[in-house]
Amino acid sequence: MENRFRARFCVLILLACSIYSGLTLVGAQNRRPKNVQVAVRVKWSGTPLLLEAGELLSKESKNLFWEFIDDWLLHVAKTDGDSHSAKDCVKKIVKHGSFLLSEPLAPLFEYSLSLRSASPRLVLYRQLAEESLSSFPLPDDSYSNNERGLDANETADIKKFDPLLVGVNPKSPDGKCCWVDTGGALFFDVADLLLWLQRPNELGDASQQPETYDFDHIHFDSNIMSPVAILYGALGTDCFRGFHVTLTQAAKEGKVNYVVRPVLPSGCEAEVGLCGAVGARDSLNLGGYGVELALKNMEYKAMDDSAIKKGVTLEDPRTEDLNQEVRGFIFSKILERKSDLTSGIMAFRDYLLSSTISDTLDVWELKDLGHQTAQRIVQASDPLQSMQEINQNFPSVVSSLSRMKLNDSIKDEIIANQKMIPPGKSLMALNGALINIEDIDLYLLIDLVHQELSLADQFSKLKIPHSTVRKLLLTVTPPELNTFRVDFRSAHVHYLNNLEEDAMYRRWRNNINEILVPVFPGQPHYIRKNLYHAVYVLDPATVCGLQSIDMITSFYENTFPMRFGVILYSAQFIKKIEMSGGELHSSALEHDSEIENDKSSLIIQLFIYIKENHGPQTAFQFLSNVNRLRIESAESTDEAVEMHHIEGAFVETDLSKAKSSPQEILLKLKKEQTFKEMSQESSLSVFKLGVGTLQCCLLMNGLVFDFSEEALINAMSDELPRIQEQVYYGHINSRTDVLDKFLSENGISRYNPQILADGKVKRRFVSLASSILGGDSVLNEINYLHSPETVDDVKAVTHLLAVDVTSKKGIKLLRKGIHYLIGGTQGARVGVLFSASQTADLPSLLLTKTFEITAASYSHKKKVLDFLDQLCSFYEHKYILRSTTAAESNQEFVDKVYELAEANELFSKAYKFLLPEASDLKLREHLNKVSQFLYRQLGIPSGVNAIITNGRVTPLGASVFLSDDLHLLESVEFKHRINHIVEIIEEVNWQDVDPDMLTSKYISDVIMFVSSSMATRDRSTESARFEILNAEYSAVVVNNENSSIHIDAVVDPLSPSGQKLSSLLRVLAKYAHPSMRIVLNPLSSLGDLPLKNYYRYVVPTMDDFSSTDYTVNGPKAFFANMPLSKTLTMNLDVPEPWLVEPVIAIHDLDNIFLENLGDTRTLQAVFELEALVLTGHCAEKDHGPPRGLQLILGTKNTPHLVDTIVMANLGYWQMKVHPGVWYLQLAPGRSSELYFFRDGVDDGSQEKSLSKRIAINDLRGNVVHLEVVKKKGKEHEKLLISSDVDNQSKDKRGHSSWNSKIFEWASSFIGGRDHSKKSDDCLKGHSKGGRHGKTINIFSIASGHLYERFLKIMILSVLKNTHRPVKFWFIKNYLSPPFKDVIPHMAREYGFDYELITYRWPTWLHKQTEKQRIIWAYKILFLDVIFPLSLEKVIFVDADQVVRADMGELYDMDIKGRPLAYTPFCDNNKEMDGYRFWRQGFWRDHLQGKPYHISALYVVDLVKFRETAAGDHLRVFYETLSKDPNSLANLDQGR
């Protein structure tokens, strides 16, 4: 029965096809469905896939790069006889790469290779190769055939050379494909290199050593102290094999530090073999972006009604996918059965396709559309594919969806879930960590998955059970604590007031709940309770210290509701302690003349005396008197305190109760030891707290702030919500001591900014597990030291001390580590990694051997730590602080070891047996091995002392490091990231481990390795409770217990984010095989169609590689069977760092009307990655963002290629870059005169940096966090100075202003950097047209062919009405390729200049969804940053305006110091009166006779615009306004 029904149904279909084909054959031929194809290519030439594979493997492990090279050279013949196509070659490369990887990582390696994510790294190497060649010009000048060493073909491809494309492939130098750069010479032949290696006296010229970088491939046998030899070449060439074999052998012999930078120079493709050249000859198409064809909102007529241009029709590379369902029919199966009716069946299919498009539905059809979509997805055999097909072709499937019968169970579950999550909300988490849906892209997602799989692989190799591995990976690290409070409670705090006891506050109410009562902004709560303890730590002889005293006194006198106090110290005294290594030697201080004459100590003594005898108010008055006398007698307010100021202030202070005269008291106090000791104790307490290095600082309830008044108010504002929360929940009441509560719960005994990392400095972590799994590791040889009687305990925290045994600081660190253990710690152990300089003497080597013997044999002994401390003390005083003769010192050291061992109850037998046997050579080899490990694996250079705490690397700065700092490190790291790992490891059931191995050391090692590896994860600390959502009927659940990846997601399938996520989830499902739980969350009630577009997310596949030849086509977006009668507009959804522009497009991509394509079946568009965006945030230490700070970016040879300014909005800045090594600097002029970059942390030594090196080696861009500090003496100067003020100062000083200088400087770089040829052409045009005078700068923006026609008319109308030179500035992003092709010809013909500019919309600024609104926003929001700094003024003119007057008149108009000036509408044309809407209704009443202005024409004084930060104000206003979707009807219009 069923078969008979199917047969009749097929006959019916065929009959319909036959009838339809006969009646409408002609019409169908005219209205055949059309397709759209889009590709995005990079600007640089293609890179070899073989070299990309090596880069991908090096990301997994540095050694895998070298293993891959050796494997390829050993097993792969150059002939490539078994590889007949690009696909065969890729499979071969993947096979050899996957062989080196674990099974879960292999599929991801294959996919990353097809994604071409390593290509930017090879482009970076090209830049370095070019710099290498250009530093040694060849005698025959073969390299300099053209400016950049490009070959003829590549030069022809790049029509307009882009100076930012620093990684252009160099031409083969003199036909050579490889060379070795030693800094002093280039070697193109192995024979020359061998001669160089045989002359050891010429190897070590350090001044000529080439620079190496973190991303370089350094051979694992290399000696980092040896001369650097960098091989530039490509795997697969004969020359590479020869150089590689020679340099590998030299590295093993310790002769060179061997580095490889993979480069295939242009012209060497034939030398590398067929597979080695795959990818190098083809343009590189990218994947990992979305393309949208939106049904256009025709609010404005934007269709170009001129004749359709006929251009070169690109061949249609795609056939239609007949497997896609069309109205319930799968035509591929019908055609298989009835191939003789092909034309009729296809005509019937075309009719169905053309009749399915819908952009409107009736209200009742929309009602359950979201629920119906969810039902269609969950009931499909492949839910992810179904979701993708629905939301990416929604206008074509919406009709069939709306007719679907709905299952109530699905609807009810969705509604129930939406009580816990907002309808339409989308979330996604990878192994528990939330991913930002807006920012996610394919490259980031693959990196995140690779990170998780690598960790799982490491943990498995540590024999951790799979169930525990999953539990570890699903653990989300808690967010970093930024509320560390310094526990300053001591007798050295001197309070000025007490709100709870002082009479002046008795009239205030003491009800703590009043803090919950709202008050006006900026107004404090007046409550008789010590809620805020503002304790200033200061040196009373410094300017900042005395200024703080005056500020405290002022607040106190004005009854500010805060308790004020001070802790006083002497910076000179603390300096003495630091010079002694943190140890206070009283005997040395007693007769120190500097201490005796220390003004700070004297002030502290007098302050303590006055306070004890006359009260705190009088004591503070004394300090105020010191400052007053200092200011009165000084020419400058910054001059230091003199002794007579102190004495005079003491005499002036009212000591009415004193029995003696002030002079007698002063003389007596100077000799009094008691107050002197109290002064020293106060300074010592500050030293122990660690805040002495901050000079002056505020402790607000223990939180550390700057000492300024602004910081005090901000600190109070920050603390208020914390106190309110505690009061609200009842944790603080009227009887609670707020300070004790806060400091007891979250107090630390010492402040060290290097350890606490307040968010400005990113902590650095390294994986110790990857180090130990890489083979023979020095970590296996470490024997740990423990606190007494804790040897057998599991230690959660491991401190590895990297100690240079020949340095004083290294020995100090070693002793502090021993004191730390002697002081007692239950949860930590200490290991020592000794290194030494090449000139280390034998006692230094014997010390390391003694430590090794002691830790291995006697770590359980009670006095072992005392023995090591005494030995280090002897070694420090005998061999570090003074030199002794070698012969006697060696034996003396050995004898001392025997003596101390016996004295501390250690058997000296082991020492007597092993020390004499110690080989000088072997000890040096071991120290060299440790140095290599520290540098290669941990990034610690030779001679640097550091602490590695469970993978966290803390290099020692200039400040003193105490044993208390190790306690602080232990506490911070354990609480933040180790504790939850310990809890998981303690529950492990170790099945694959020998029970004899399960010692406390083994478990401690596992905790160290796991916690260090997990700390390297770069992911969010935010999580969500997905498990509370029901997932029985409305969710897609994929279980895979063997997978290390778990995806939790909540997705609205009918949303823009759902369109992208559906494709990303399919990629994950194919290559990572995760377990997934995807809860569908569509909007329950719709008033309009949720999606009015077609969407394709472009992902690469193996089909991108040809199976017939060696070409690589690359991925493309393909839209089959698009509607003919709808106007579509194309938008690209690219990763945030990408700036793309169309380079090939015959048709108007803003207004795609496929009916006009004629015989062409497929509309083709090719976009180009114009640049990557380098973004960042800049902060000024202890202040807000330095708005207006000017930055420049360039290369080593060309320092200035791009420039920008820092916004006030989050200190944001951005610049265009390409892959390469870049250098960021402060611009010459006021920026570099006032500021310098700050490196590291504020540990007392500010490293001044003039530039920042930034490596761009991937497609994800880079976010750079900068911190600048004002130079000494410039602290109170402002960066932005009004030009009026600056002109006055210029007249006084008699030289040009900084504004003038910056414009001259910027013009010299910017005006002539990449437009010199264009400018020459313009000058010729000017001479023809007779143009003269100051150039008029015109800015405009257009999108779509129609408005580009208007733009041409506007250009000509401007030129027609002025005789002055004109330069036009156009937004590059939206111009069509035909316009960009014609504009240079127009410029030559009509004699004008032009420049194309662009700016990427910042991520933090609310973005419009409609393309037209984004375009409108560009003309007002980024005026301060989109133009070069040299441009002083510009006029904006709408593209559709016709200019009838000389624009020079507006350009020269005095706009009276305003940044913007808008022209009013004119009214001289009476025929237009009926269209002047502002003459009637609302606008007439609103304007009250004032002229109506519109943003079609306005002038911008860019100098004043930047000075007043007008751009920042506009962006803040826009951000506030744009949150209301109804408030931006036209965004830029009526004013």
Supply the pLDDT for residue 357: 59
pLDDT, mean of residues 443-472: 92
State the pairing for strand pair 1190-1194/1128-1133: unpaired
Q: What is the pLDDT of residues 1410-1422, one digit of tens each?
A: 777 787 788 888 8
For residue 1193, pLDDT beyond 90: yes
Say what percent of the chain tops pLDDT 70. 84
Supply the pLDDT for residue 1304: 42
Question: Could you count the other beta carbons within 10 Å of the beta carbon of residue 659?
Answer: 7
What residue type is assigned to position 1145 of the chain? A
> How many whole angstroms from its chain centre is CA 246?
39
pLDDT, mean of residues 891-900: 88
Supply the pLDDT for residue 1368: 95
Residue 1284's pLDDT band (cuts 50, 70, 90): low
What is the sign of the dihedral through the CA atoms of 1324, 1327, 1330 and 1333?
positive
Greater confidence (654 vs 1185) lies with 1185
Task: Identify the CA nearest to 1171 among candidates 1141, 1207, 1203, 1206.
Answer: 1141
φ/ψ of 982, rounded to 5, equals -60, -45
For residue 415, pLDDT beyond 80: yes
- List the structure tokens of 1417: 């926003």
Greater confidence (24 vs 1082) lies with 1082
Supply the pLDDT for residue 595: 60
Between CA 673 and CA 683 the distance in angstroms is 15
Supply the pLDDT for residue 1528: 52
Greater confidence (817 vs 907) lies with 817
From residue 1330, alpha-carbon distances to 1317, 1359, 1393 in Å are 20, 12, 14
Break the chain down into helix, strand, coil percent, rounded to 5: 45, 15, 40
pLDDT, mean of residues 700-726: 91
For residue 1330, pLDDT beyond 80: no
- List the structure tokens of 1436: 């904006």
From residue 651, alpha-carbon distances to 535, 625, 655, 662, 678 in Å are 27, 10, 8, 5, 22
Q: Is residue 851 within 8 Å of 871, Cβ to Cβ?
A: no
Between CA 1501 and CA 814 the distance in angstroms is 62
Supply the pLDDT for residue 1240: 56
Supply the pLDDT for residue 804: 92
Question: Could you count the other beta carbons within 10 Å of the beta carbon of residue 622?
Answer: 25
For residue 401, pLDDT beyond 50: yes
The DSSP bridge partners found for residue 747 are 485
Q: What is the pLDDT of residues 609-646, one digit of tens each?
A: 889 888 999 999 999 999 888 888 866 666 778 888 88
Q: What is the pLDDT of residues 168-196, one digit of tens each?
A: 889 988 889 999 999 888 999 999 999 99
Residue 702's pLDDT band (cuts 50, 70, 90): very high
State the pairing for strand pair 1366-1371/1393-1397: parallel
Residue 1468's pLDDT band (cuts 50, 70, 90): confident
For residue 686, pLDDT beyond 90: yes
Q: Is residue 284 within 8 Å of 42, Cβ to Cβ?
A: yes
DSSP for 1145-1212, written as a single string:
-SS-TTSB-GGGGTT--EEEEEEEEEEEEEEEEEEETTSS--TT-EEEEE-SS-S-SEEEE--SSTTE
Task: Identify the CA nearest to 328 among candidates 1, 9, 8.
Answer: 9
What residue type is assigned to position 529 of the chain? K
Look at the block and give the residue holding tokens 């202890």.
1182
Supply the pLDDT for residue 784: 93
Q: What is the pLDDT of residues 1485-1498, one digit of tens each?
A: 777 778 877 778 89
The DSSP bridge partners found for residue 225 are none
Supply the pLDDT for residue 643: 84
DSSP state of 658: -
Residue 346's pLDDT band (cuts 50, 70, 90): confident
Q: Is residue 536 within 8 Å of 696, Cβ to Cβ?
A: yes
Q: Is residue 857 within 8 Å of 910, Cβ to Cβ?
A: yes
Between CA 1504 and CA 1122 the distance in angstroms is 50
pLDDT, mean of residues 100-108: 92
Question: Could you count the other beta carbons within 10 Å of the beta carbon of residue 305?
Answer: 8
φ/ψ of 873, rounded to 5, equals -65, -45
From residue 1088, alpha-carbon distances to 269, 952, 1059, 1394 in Å are 56, 53, 18, 44
Cα 49–Cα 50–Cα 54 angle in degrees, nearest 5: 110
Q: Is residue 54 within 8 Å of 1229, Cβ to Cβ?
A: no
Residue 1226's pLDDT band (cuts 50, 70, 90): very high
Q: What is the pLDDT of residues 914-967, one digit of tens each?
A: 888 777 888 888 888 898 888 888 888 888 899 999 999 998 877 778 888 899
Exposed e or buried b per residue across 1-32, where buried means at least 16 C-beta atoms within 10 angstroms of its C-beta: eeeeeeeeeeeebbeebeebbeebeeebeebb
- Dihedral angle of Cα 74, 80, 83, 89, to the nearest 10 degrees: 60
Q: Is residue 1392 within 8 Å of 1359, Cβ to Cβ?
A: yes
Taking the alpha carbons at both ends of the chain, their separation in whole angstroms is: 75
Supply the pLDDT for residue 1415: 79
What is the sign of the dihedral through the CA atoms of 1398, 1404, 1410 and 1412?
negative
Supply the pLDDT for residue 505: 93
DSSP state of 1508: T
* 1454 contact partners, CB below 8 Å, separation of at least 6: none
| CA atoms within 13 Å, Cβ hemisphere of 267 | 16
Counting every residue, how long is the chain?
1535
DSSP state of 1271: P
DSSP state of 954: E
Q: Is residue 434 within 8 Å of 1020, Cβ to Cβ?
A: yes
Q: Is residue 698 within 8 Å of 535, Cβ to Cβ?
A: yes
The residue ranges of DSSP E strands in 1261-1344, in sequence order, are: 1262-1270, 1336-1340
For residue 429, pLDDT beyond 80: yes
For residue 528, pLDDT beyond 50: yes
Between CA 765 and CA 1013 the distance in angstroms is 8
Between CA 1160 and CA 711 the distance in angstroms is 67
- List the structure tokens of 995: 């029970």
Average pLDDT, the chain: 83
Supply the pLDDT for residue 887: 52
- List the structure tokens of 1241: 């942390």
Among 84-88, 157-161, 752-756, where is mean pLDDT lowest? 157-161
φ/ψ of 697, rounded to 5, equals -150, 165
Supply the pLDDT for residue 26: 42
- List the structure tokens of 1189: 């700070």
Among 298-307, 1041-1050, 1336-1345, 1466-1475, where is mean pLDDT lowest? 298-307
DSSP state of 479: P
Q: What is the pLDDT of residues 248-266, one digit of tens each?
A: 999 998 889 999 999 999 9
Residue 123's pLDDT band (cuts 50, 70, 90): very high
Residue 325's pLDDT band (cuts 50, 70, 90): low
Task: Identify the CA nearest to 1076 among candidates 1102, 1037, 1104.
Answer: 1037
Task: Identify the CA nearest to 1231 among candidates 1180, 1292, 1189.
Answer: 1189
Supply the pLDDT for residue 317: 38
Between CA 320 and CA 1430 the distance in angstroms is 53
Task: Identify the CA nearest to 1415 among candidates 1280, 1531, 1286, 1288.
Answer: 1531
DSSP state of 734: T
pLDDT, mean of residues 1311-1338: 55
What residue type is assigned to position 496 of the chain? L
Say what percent of the chain tops pLDDT 90. 41
pLDDT, mean of residues 44-69: 93
For residue 374, pLDDT beyond 90: yes
Supply the pLDDT for residue 758: 61
Residue 1328's pLDDT band (cuts 50, 70, 90): very low
